[in-house]
Amino acid sequence: MFYAILKFIGLIFFRIFLRLEIEGQENIPKKGPLLLACNHISLLDPPVVAAACTRQLHWMAKEELFVPVLGTIYRWLGAFPVKRGTADRAALKHGIEIMQNNEVLAIFPEGTRSKTGALGKAAPGALMMAGKVRATILPTCVIGTDVKRQGKLWPKVKVKFGKPIEFPKEVFVDKDLLTKLTNDMMDSIAALQAGDKVCR
């Protein structure tokens, strides 16, 4: 309930002050395990994408963000900490459990924010958790949340949800399959990003 209230308030706020536009909500599977994979250009990305998505999101967020007070707010918004640079088994297990419960895990496959706005490479193992559950992958692109780069008093932000990518059901999940699906995912995000002037 609290998440829904925050999401409603956030959606109104972003619609008014960031002129938020949303495309492709019809591509969001209504049920089942889902891995939402999004590019990352600003600290605004998680709340903006959460407001735009029709399902509740659970975010993996760097441990450093979970300071007193703010950490509690992040948890209310569905985030949980992960230790970067290490194999954080507890965080990985929690992420898998989220999808096993037919919920949505949201990640930034690049592993860090882009300083230029350009899409980087996915971190190794970005889809490992989805492979354990054979969760559907939802390529997502956020545009314009790096508001300072726009240099406008009234910035414009957009969230675009791409076509879902399914894990083959009858094929063994190995490194080659994960590499192929990772490339497909990043290509889809790049295609969503292409053509929007605000990205440039």
Mean pLDDT of the 87-107 span: 92
- Smallest CA-to-CA distance from 191 within 154, 158, 163 is with 163
The residue with tokens 């399959």 is: 177
Q: Measuring CA to CA, how many Å separate 97 from each of 42, 158, 190?
A: 27, 30, 29
pLDDT for the residue 199: 42
Please give the average per-residue pLDDT across 44-65, as a whole number. Answer: 90
The reported pTM is 0.91
Per-residue pLDDT tens digits for 191-200 = 999 866 544 3
104, β-bridge pairs: 34, 57
Name which residue leads in pLDDT, 109 or 73.
109
Q: Mind giving me the DSSP string for 42-86? A: -TTHHHHHHHH-SS-EEEEEEGGG--TTHHHHHHHTTEEEE-TTS
**Residue 62: band (very low, low, confident or very high) from pLDDT cuts 50, 70, 90:** confident
Q: 85 pLDDT band (50/70/90 cuts)?
A: low
Task: Single out the residue of 187, 160, 42, 49 nearest to residue 112, CA to CA.
Answer: 42
pLDDT at 196: 65
Which residue would you say has higher pLDDT here, 13 or 151? 13
Count the helix, strand and coil residues of the chain and give each as a percent rounded to the nearest 5: 40, 20, 40
Distance CA 37, CA 121 (A): 13
